Amino acid sequence: MKKKFKITSNLEQKEILKKSIQNSENQNVDLYKSIFGGLNSGIAPGNGGGGSIILPPGGSCDVVAISGASAAYDRVDQFLRA
Amino acid sequence: MVTSFVLKVASRCNLNCSYCYMYNLGDKTYLKQPKFMSISTIHTFAEKLAHYSKENGLRSFQIVFHGGEPLLLPKEFYKESVRIFTETLSDAYFDFVIQTNGVGLDGDWYALFNELNIRVGISMDGPKEYHDRYRVFHNGKGSYDEVRHAIQIGLENGMHGVLSVANLNISPNVLYEEFKSLNVPSFNLLLPDGHFDKLPDDLIKDRVNTYDYTPYADWLIELFTIWKSDPDRPNMRFFKTLIQLIAGEDAGDQMVGLKKNGVAVVETNGNLEVADSIRACYEGITRNSINIHTHEISSILEDPLFDIYINSHQMVSEKCINCPIYEICGGGFLLNRYSNENGFDNPTIYCHDMIKLVTYIQNDLIDSLPDEVCKEMELNRVSYDEILEELENKGPVSIQKNIKDKLVAYSLT
């Protein structure tokens, strides 16, 4: 039988996971806290460099989300992905 | 939908990196390209993009100035290009990015990129000793000193990320310390380009994807452990994306996850092609007749290689469909799956490495959760051995014949 690999597969499970990480006092969890919330340091989200991102009037600017596809660069991390 | 366009504004480079897919991995297409993209090509592309935008109801685009080396063009080219894009598509949002080797990137360039809202990415290969072995000028001299200088100026000018190719010859600790000493808040890693018939230098052909041969996983796990234990860790996109995927978040790129690839390359002469690293498969594989001077952008949707590239995380080998980590790795990067014998109908050259790495991170995340949460969510540790064992048996899902035919169509035998 195929093993379950993704830790969560629905919104409810995602919430349980996030809350559990956010509430944990285990030092070993600070990396995951920095990714899933609950910690302000560690991984800085940033907004890219060399200039700010201009939002279209009243709209979202997420290149990835609009097409549902991945982009050459992540919108918030300026890393080439192509 | 494709919304991210990599513009090869220069087809030549002032560096001659030993592993470069553009110049040193078998494809000489660049020799037939004009040295630089003309403003007239930018104009035509912007007009075609406006049409594509209307046709598909798209308002957000990413434009990546890339090469060769994009800083070989004059500053005026960038001022004019940004003006053309923003005036031709006045109601669209643009995310402009430039990827440079950093040579010659000075305060004046940064000032221009800040003025034009162009984000800057710099490529670097770790400490001087290693960087200068691979990223060299045409006379063989290393470029480290100039690149480090560009990064340092960049830290005061908005640049915050450095991209590096994973290199087994550099100890993960040495690499990590190098990036820490640069003080960059973010760095990222790419796995070396290569496929089954053109492996990266460090891989031993007969041992690829065998049980006890996972050099990249071993290296990456060591780096992950160092990174995780550092309370002032910089952002590392590669690991962060894997963690998000394992946790069930919507993440991914052309290397991992299940998202479609929304990227197209505009060659210096206006040709529209798939990601240029795919060229490393064999001479001319990315070539087609689609050119923005004669075609609409949507023509790419009829190109068979674009079809595989855009859907590369859905069009995977039978082994991948049945693999427990398929939803995480998505079958991996298309180039890394290639073999002369089977075309793209393979797991990647990094298949076992990814299984080992993903298993390690998944178990680390599970170990970080309280027992009652693991019980409630029915979470169990999964081992590398268990997954390999599962892969040895034929899985319940069969690959569709039409997909298999598309993947093997690029076989050379």
pLDDT tens, position by position, B388-403:
998 888 888 999 999 9
| Cβ separation A70–B119 shorter than 8 A | no
For residue A23, the chain B residues in CB contact (below 8 A) are none
Residue type, A40: N
Look at residue A41 in the predicted model and tell me its pLDDT. Answer: 41
Optimal mutation site among B1, B369, B371, B376, interface A, most CBs of chain A within 10 A: B369
Optimal mutation site among A4, A7, A16, A75, interface B, most CBs of chain B within 10 A: A7
B115 pLDDT exceeds 80? yes
Optimal mutation site among B125, B193, B235, B361, interface A, most CBs of chain A within 10 A: B235
The lowest-confidence range among B30-34, B108-112, B114-118 is B30-34
- Residue B68 has which token pair? 């060769």
CA distance A14 to chain B (A): 7
For residue A30, the chain B residues in CB contact (below 8 A) are 231
pLDDT tier at B187, thresholds 50, 70, 90: confident
Average pLDDT taken over every residue of chain B:
92
Q: How many Å apart are CA B1 and CA B301, to the nearest integer?
A: 9
pLDDT tier at B127, thresholds 50, 70, 90: very high
Beta bridge partners of B136: B142
Q: How many Å apart are CA A82 and CA B22, to the nearest integer?
A: 13
A49 pLDDT exceeds 90? no
pLDDT digits (tens, 9 = 90+) for B155-165: 988 776 788 88
Bigger pLDDT: B372 vs B228:
B228
pLDDT digits (tens, 9 = 90+) for B249-306: 888 888 999 999 999 999 999 999 998 889 889 988 998 999 999 999 999 999 999 9
B220 pLDDT exceeds 50? yes
Instruction: Say what percent of chain B tops pLDDT 90.
Output: 73
- Name the range with the highest mean pLDDT among A38-52, A66-80, B202-216, B271-285: B202-216
The lowest-confidence range among B13-17, B310-314, B328-332 is B13-17
| Cα four-point dihedral sign B350, B353, B359, B362 | negative
| Cβ separation B157–A50 shorter than 8 A | yes
B314 pLDDT exceeds 90? yes
**Start-to-end Cα distance in chain B:** 33
For residue A46, the chain B residues in CB contact (below 8 A) are 160-161, 185-186, 235
The lowest-confidence range among A54-68, B18-32, B307-321, B322-336 is A54-68
Q: Is B307 exposed, middle or buried (0-12, 13-18, 19+ CB in 10 A)?
A: middle
For residue B94, the chain A residues in CB contact (below 8 A) are 54
Is omega for the bond preceding B68 within 30 degrees of 0, making it cis?
yes
Main-chain dihedrals φ then ψ at residue B220, nearest 5 degrees? -70, -35
pLDDT digits (tens, 9 = 90+) for B2-33: 999 999 999 888 888 877 766 665 566 777 78
Look at residue B223 in the predicted model and tell me its pLDDT. Answer: 97
CA distance A25 to chain B (A): 10
Q: How many Å apart are CA B162 and CA B179, to the nearest integer?
A: 8
B152 pLDDT exceeds 70? yes
DSSP B205: G
**Model ipTM?**
0.83
Look at residue B153 in the predicted model and tell me its pLDDT. Answer: 94
Q: List the one residue out of B137, B105, B142 whose CA is nearest residue B127.
A: B142
Contact between B113 and A50 (Cβ < 8 Å): yes
| Cβ separation A79–B160 shorter than 8 A | no
Bigger pLDDT: B118 vs B32:
B118
| Cβ separation A49–B254 shorter than 8 A | no
| Cβ separation B188–A31 shorter than 8 A | no
Main-chain dihedrals φ then ψ at residue A12, nearest 5 degrees? -60, -45
B169 pLDDT exceeds 70? yes
Question: Which strand (E) or helix (H) includes residue B94?
Answer: strand B93-100
Look at residue B381 in the predicted model and tell me its pLDDT. Answer: 87
Task: Provide the b/e sequence for A27-54 (b: ≥16 CB within 10 Å).
Answer: eebbbbbbbbebbeebbbeeebbbbebe
Question: Which strand (E) or helix (H) includes residue B121?
Answer: strand B118-123
Touching check for A44 and chain B: CB below 8 Å? yes
The lowest-confidence range among A71-75, B37-41, B189-193 is A71-75
For residue A3, the chain B residues in CB contact (below 8 A) are 324, 380, 382, 386-387, 390
At residue B61, the 3 state secondary structure works out as: strand
Please name the residue of chain A whose CA is at the shortest distance from the CA of residue B244: A35
Q: How many Å apart are CA B161 and CA B42, to the nearest integer?
A: 27
Contact between B79 and B116 (Cβ < 8 Å): yes
